Structures are given as structure tokens and as C-alpha cells.
Copies of this chain bind each other. A is one copy, B any other.
Amino acid sequence: MRIIQGSVNSPLGFMASGVACGQKKNGDLDLAMVASDRPATAAGVFTQNVIKGHGLQLTRQYIRGKLARAVVINSGNANACIGEDGMKDAIEMAAAAAARIDCPAEQIMIGSTGVIGQRLNMPAIKRGIDLAFAALDETATGAENAERAILTTDLVSKACAVEIDLDGCRVTVGGMAKGSGMIHPNMATMIGVITTDCAIDQPLLDQILRQAVNKTFNRVSVDGDTSVCDMVIAMANGAAGNTSIEEGSTQAAILLEAFETVSTELARMIARDGEGATKLIEVVATGAKSSEDAYKIVLAVAKSPLVKTAIFGEDANWGRILTAAGYSGADFDPEDIDIYLGDLMVCAKGCALDFDEALAKKILQEQDIVIRIVLNEGNASDRIWTCDFSYDYVKINGSYRS
């Protein structure tokens, strides 16, 4: 497997574009299209929020047809909580793209991200779809525009691609994502599009997508909030010409690894670009009695505003890490727990250590921080990515609608 410079249009037969159609107040790109030159096998993972955006509701329905020609995503407006008109607009949005691409509407997956409770400007959206269709291309520019057009409060575009060899065929997996606030496990963490030219049947693609998402996108927490519009859509169009891969095969394992690599990179980029973030924090728990315990601990630590503000302040306040583990609901004995910041042990068997504060400070001044919690009670482990909590998080979210 090789990581390459690339994105959603790196796999054969895929094109991408991003245009401005007036959904974002500042005139930025706000409508992205990713299209395959032939019907692609499609799979999706969707928010677990009870409240669901209208576009997402429609896409969940359309994806049951298991084929997609394109994903169309607008930013700036979530098309959520609008009632019947919201669903009508979503249907119209898919239909407009289908008319351009010349395919059944059910093969258009749509997404919307932005402010909740405001109706889409449909003439603008349709004009955007026309522009985006005309701009579709296989170049880096097309991909870069698509990446930018799905962003909301993100500061940087997020894309990644890898190449693998399957039976002598070169197969590419590419991806792009957005997500900066309202990021939390169990999907609903972001919007992502993963494309591949691999030939694969739908149930296996669905399985590989779910496995990859669970270990990666579902292991990012920015603020504990989950959104109503978020999803990851995968499209596989078979253009690489490989023999369709089968469940349980070596090829399936290689493709899973490629999906995981792309998703891991995108997930880390999302955490690093968390609203107001100055640092990427990886929280690791090892030696837990069960996977559930390990998950509860990394989740509680990654969500704790007190841990996140301490890391922002570069303060080796390990007591807050221990405290968060303590209220996580995980089953562990406080007298077994060790805590590390980077490679520096700061707490042994639940007790304070007289560690080198200057060294701790140096570790916390880095941009990538690893918090390691060793339970010393079993073999289960888990890991989650988050970011620190800064003044800018408050600033960004105190005035988002205005």
C-alpha cells in the first residue's frame, strides 16, 4: 500500500468539482459534486441522532438501491428541521443532479451541512448543480474545489488517497471529509466521501466501510456534540478492472486496510482542525478488563473540558485525566492505573509521581499529544482522537449563525 497525493477523483472513472452558489454568506465555494462515469456500488453510514436532516433522510432511502452515480453536498445550510418543504427541496436537489448526469434520481446521494432551520435557496442550489456538473474533472483542482466546498467552520481541506495492488491491478482508494465542531463518535461525526475503482459487491463494501468507520471516524470527538446531517458515503465503480473481491479473501483484507488508512488520516485531520484547536490529542487506554471499559475511559477523557483546557494551557494536570477515567463508568481499580503524557509517566498506581515538570511542559508544547492510560488489569485497549479546547472554540461557536 502506498499513500499518494490524491483525493476522491484519484480512482479511475471519478470526477469532482466545487462551486459557489450563494449558500455561504462570504461567497466561498459551497456546493461539491463527486461523480462516477458509471454506476458505482454504494454504501453509507449515517448519524445516530434522532433528528435527521432532510437530505440525509433522502439519501438513506436512495442508498437502498445500492448504486450511485454521484454525491452532491452543499455547505452553509443543513436543510434540517424544515418539515415537508425540507424533504421536497432534498428531492428536488437530487432530481436536478440526476437530470444533468442522466441517471435515476435514486443514484444521487445528497448531503447538506450548515445552519439548521433555514430553507435552502433552491434556485441557487440548482444553479450550483449546473455549474458543478459543468466543472467536473479528474484534476487536482476539481478535487480541491470539492474539498473546499463541503467545509463549514473547518480551516483546512481534508483529503487522502492510497494505492494498492489486487491481483496485478492497481486499485486506488480516495477520500475527502469535513468536520470541525459537533464532532463525536457514533457517526454523525462529519461528512465524508470515499471513492474507489475497486470491483466489489455491495454487502462487502458495506461491511468494509462500517469496519473502517468504527475504528476511525467513530473515534474522533471534538466537543461531544453530534450533528443531524452527517454521514460517510462510499462508492466503488470497478473501473480498476480487478476481479470482484470476495468476503474473507486476502484482497478484502488489503482493501479494508486501504479504507482504514484513508479514514484514519481524515479522522486525524478532523481532530487536528477541531474548532479552535491548537493541538491534536490522542487518548489511548490499554490493559483494560474489556473493550467497553477501554472505550468508556478514552471517551470520558477526550470529552472532558477540564482535560482539554489543561492541554490548551500546557498544564500537566494529570489529576483531571484520572478524574475523568473515574467518572467514565468503566470498571477499574484506581490503585492499578498508570498515566503517561507522551513517554513521561506522571501517575503510577493511581498516585502522584514526582515527575520532571519541565519535561512535561516540553511534551505539552508539542502539537501532537499522546495521553496514555494503562489499567494493568487486562488486555483490552482503545484509542480516540480529540483536540484541545481554546478561546477560539468559544469565539467560533458564540457567533456561528450571525
Q: Which of A4-12, A144-152, A325-333 contacts B (4 or more CB under 8 A)?
A: A325-333
> What is the chain B residue whose CB lies nearest that of A388?
B398
Judging by beta carbons under 8 Å apart, are A398 and B51 in contact?
no
Of the stretches A77-85, A125-133, A169-177, A255-263, the one at the interface is A77-85
Q: Does A155 contact B (CB under 8 A)?
A: no
Tell me the smallest distance from the CB of A107 to a CB of chain B, in Å. 28
A118/B352 in contact, CB under 8 A? yes
Assess whether B317 is in contact with A400, with CB atoms less than 8 Å apart: yes
Query: Is there an interface contact between B51 and A309, defined as CB atoms closer than 8 Å?
Result: no
User: By the criterion CB–CB under 8 Å, are A322 and B401 in contact?
Assistant: no
With a cutoff of 8 Å between Cβ atoms, the chain B residues found around residue A323 in the complex are 49, 51, 116, 182, 225-228
Measured CB to CB, the closest approach of chain B to A258, in angstroms, equals 31
Alpha-carbon distance A184/B182, docked complex (angstroms): 21
Bound-state CA distance A385–B112 (Å) is 33
Docked-complex contact A182 and B306, CB < 8 angstroms: yes
In the complex the two chains form, is A322's CB within 8 Å of B116's CB? Answer: yes
Indicate with 1 or 0, residue by residue over A306-317, a CB within 8 angstroms of chain B CB atoms.
100110110111
Within 8 A of B (CB), among A344-402: 347, 349-352, 389-391, 393-402
- CB <8 Å contact, B51 and A350: yes
Residue of B nearest to A116 (CB): B319
Q: Is the CB of A319 within 8 A of B223?
A: no
Q: Chain B: which residue is nearest A351 at the CB level?
A: B83
Let me know if A48 is at the binding interface, CB within 8 A: yes
A142 within 8 A of B: no
Residues of chain B contacted by A325 (CB below 8 angstroms): 50-51
Tally of A interface residues using CB under 8 Å: 66
Chain B residues near A394: list those with CB within 8 A. 309, 312, 389-391, 393-394
Q: Indicate whether A115 reaches chain B with its CB closer than 8 angstroms.
A: yes
Q: Judge if A324 is at the interface, Cβ distance under 8 Å.
A: yes
Residues of B within 8 A of A327 (CB): 48-50, 184, 188, 225-226
| Contacting pair A326 B51 (CB below 8 A) | yes
Please report the C-alpha to C-alpha distance between residue A396 and residue B396 in the assembled complex, in whole angstroms: 19
Cβ of A13 under 8 Å from chain B: no
| Nearest neighbor of A114 in chain B, beta-carbon distance | B319
Instruction: For A309, give its contact among B226, B349, B397 (CB under 8 Å).
Output: B397
Which of A313, A325, A347: most chain B CB closer than 10 A? Answer: A313
Considering only CB atoms, which chain B residue lies closest to A188 in the complex?
Answer: B327
Least Cβ distance of A357 to chain B in Å? Answer: 10
Is the CB–CB distance between B117 and A225 below 8 Å? no
- Contact (A309, B401) CB under 8 Å given A49-B327, A304-B225: no
Query: Are A315 and B399 within 8 A (Cβ)?
Result: yes
Hey, which chain B residues are within 8 Å of A60, CB to CB?
none
- Cross-chain contact B224 with A319 (CB below 8 angstroms): no
- Which residues of A are at the interface with B, using a C-beta cutoff of 8 A? 48-52, 78, 80-83, 115-119, 181-182, 184, 188, 223-228, 303-306, 309-310, 312-313, 315-320, 322-327, 330, 332, 334, 347, 349-352, 389-391, 393-402
Q: Which 4 A-B pairs have the closest CB atoms?
A: A116-B319, A313-B398, A51-B326, A117-B352
A-B contact pairs, 5 of them (CB 8 A): A51-B334, A223-B305, A225-B327, A305-B393, A313-B398
